Structure 1
Amino acid sequence: MEPRKLITSLGVILTTITGIILFFTEFDKIKAFFFPAGIAISVPLYVFSLLGIGLLVFYSVYIFYFKEVTSHKKTKTELENVKALLLDSERMRLIDFVTGIANQEKFKIDIQNRPKELFHLILIDLDGFGEINKKQGFQKGDEVIRTIAQELFGRMRRDEEIYKRDYKLENNFMKRIYRKYTGGDEFIFLIKGPQYEAVGFLARIQKQLEELNAESPVFSNYKITFHGAIVPLYPSDTFEQAYDKLQRGFVQAAEESNGLRVYWDKTEEDTFVKYKSLYDNARRIFKIQ
């Protein structure tokens, strides 16, 4: 019980008890005061009766009110707990189980609610990742993919987002069957700005992965390489259009020669002459002729 309500309740109870004690200890005086000789009822008795009834009604109503307030607070607390559980459930629905980063459903929501500005999408596929699951088991594969995801996520900058791509079992089922959970070895990035921002971002990602490969014991038997695609996301593009565009660019990258391969529309480079060194560096990193 709250202190204020406790004090009020104690005051009402003490007043009632005091009145009862005084009534019995001073009975003769009270009787003479309320029942003067020859008068059946007096004004003091009438007033005291009204006060007593009023006090009894007040106390009863107060007890009822206190119970209702307590019940309301309990209900409100339960409702807030349910809301919190629903919010946690919604957040979990948008998180990839293995890696702990945003999943493809979250990617779809962000695409649909993005500012109407120019963005670029990047899709990368880790090379040879299935061998980890086949030779070292799913637990090792989960550890590797989780370490990579958290490393990339931890170094993301403003206007950069990362998502774990999901797989549908009906597509390339035998190729993807080595994964214990949906999510596989592909990541999607959403980068705000023109093409050179995305190209520079992916070159930075490659450097991070090389450092991670050299420093972390998790990758003692696995060298991280990938192939991928960079495609523009215009303000008018829908999620379906953006995803189809990303898929087509990715197919072009996958069909290139061995080694690091990344597809992007080379005709766009003419617009960014002052970033020639950035593109040249990216070509060198990704072994693009």
Structure 2
Amino acid sequence: MKPIEIKYKYGLIIALIILVFALLAFFEKGIKFYKLVAPDGTLLNWRFVLIIVVITSTIVWFIMNHLWKKEFENHQKTQYERDNYAELLKISENERLTDIITGVPNLQSLKKDIDIHFSKRKHKKKLQFILIDLKGFKKINNKYGFLKANKLLRTIAQTIYQKMRRNEDMYKYPMNIKNEKNEHFYRIHTGGDEFVFIIQGNQTDALGFANRLVKNDFSKLSTLTKEILGESIKLSFHCAIVEMDPRDEVEDILRKSDECYILAKEAKGDFSICWHPITIEQKLNKKWELAIYEETRELFDVMTINETDYE
């Protein structure tokens, strides 16, 4: 409940009324006023008590309202500061989870979402982990410079990101590299030309998504390179698809996709792909599902992975 905002002029009017009552007690009409409030010569009557109660209540109300007004203003200020801090924290968290070059969620967001996906997975819906690496993008960096290359990278990311469906998520993903001791570690800083997608559904859905990237997005993106780089070049990518197992840790999923990606990268075609497991296709009997695998083989150079490497 908000306190009543009392204007100074209203306070002066009330003070003036009280002053008039006080003056009446000392001037000619004071006697008549006294007889009115104390007709029997005593002040202990209902008229006088009523006047005292009204005056006292008015004064007390003004004091309490003034104190409540100060408290309310302090509360409003505290609430405003709290909301500002909450908004700043939200902005800071979004920035922490967003790649600054492409404007899409980054590796930290990916790890967070994988944990959420698996912690809330009480249903039997499958999840597919799709990794794509733009082919020959390092040459674009070297030839056209990082400013133009980053602009192209953002255009690619936003073109795909804005067309994502409700059951599809996209992330900017820095690939793992090896150090001198031949140990893996993951780069947290921005850079690179790799993206990850998490798709709800089976392997067929993931392959259908990869096919859409080739037919729709990358055919359009290749026409935009002249505007950004100054000349037209054909954009393509390597792709790895791994079915996510809720028993795996995040690093296990990243490792499996990396191993699958290494095979895809060995292919010589413009678009190459490798998926795991390879046994799912053998169990399919619907024509439209088999047609997606056929289309994938037409669009991609398919590399086969050894299933025993993942046991």
In the superposition, the TM-score normalised over structure 2's length comes to 0.79
The equivalent of 1:93 in structure 2 is: 96
The answer to whether the Cα contact below 8 Å between 2:24 and 2:30 also exists between their aligned partners in 1 is no
**2:15 matches 1:16:** yes
Q: Among residues 126, 133, 137, which one is paired with 2:141 in the alignment?
A: 133
How many angstroms apart in 2 are the aligned matches of 1:46 and 1:196? 89
Q: Note the aligned Cα RMSD (angstroms).
A: 3.0
How many angstroms apart in 1 are the aligned matches of 2:257 and 2:177? 20
Q: Give SS of 2:246's match.
A: coil
How many angstroms apart in 1 are the aligned matches of 2:150 and 2:56? 74
- The aligned length equals 280
How many angstroms apart in 1 are the aligned matches of 2:129 and 2:40? 103
The equivalent of 1:243 in structure 2 is: 254
Offset of residue 276 of structure 1: 2.2
How many angstroms apart in 2 are the aligned matches of 1:30 and 1:167? 95
**2:223 matches 1:214:** yes
How many angstroms apart in 2 are the aligned matches of 1:42 and 1:232? 92
Q: 1:63 to 1:7 in 2, by over 3 A?
A: closer
How many angstroms apart in 2 are the aligned matches of 1:168 and 1:65? 60
The answer to whether the Cα contact below 8 Å between 1:119 and 1:193 also exists between their aligned partners in 2 is yes
Q: Give SS of 1:262's match.
A: strand
How many angstroms apart in 2 are the aligned matches of 1:19 and 1:64? 22
Offset of residue 123 of structure 1: 0.5
The answer to whether the Cα contact below 8 Å between 1:167 and 1:183 also exists between their aligned partners in 2 is no
**2:132 matches 1:124:** yes
The answer to whether the Cα contact below 8 Å between 2:111 and 2:250 also exists between their aligned partners in 1 is yes
- The structure with the greater share of residues assigned to helix is 1
The answer to whether the Cα contact below 8 Å between 1:99 and 1:145 also exists between their aligned partners in 2 is yes
**2:240 matches 1:229:** yes
The answer to whether the Cα contact below 8 Å between 1:123 and 1:189 also exists between their aligned partners in 2 is yes
| Structure 2 residues without counterparts, runs of 5 or longer | 181-188, 304-311
* 1:102-251 equivalent positions in 2, closer than 5 A: 102-114=105-117, 115-116=120-121, 117-166=125-174, 171=179, 182-207=190-215, 208-215=217-224, 217-218=227-228, 220-251=231-262
The equivalent of 2:297 in structure 1 is: 283
Higher mean C-alpha displacement, 26-35 vs 268-277: 26-35
Percent of residue pairs identical: 30
Higher mean C-alpha displacement, 9-18 vs 279-288: 9-18
How many angstroms apart in 2 are the aligned matches of 1:126 and 1:37? 102
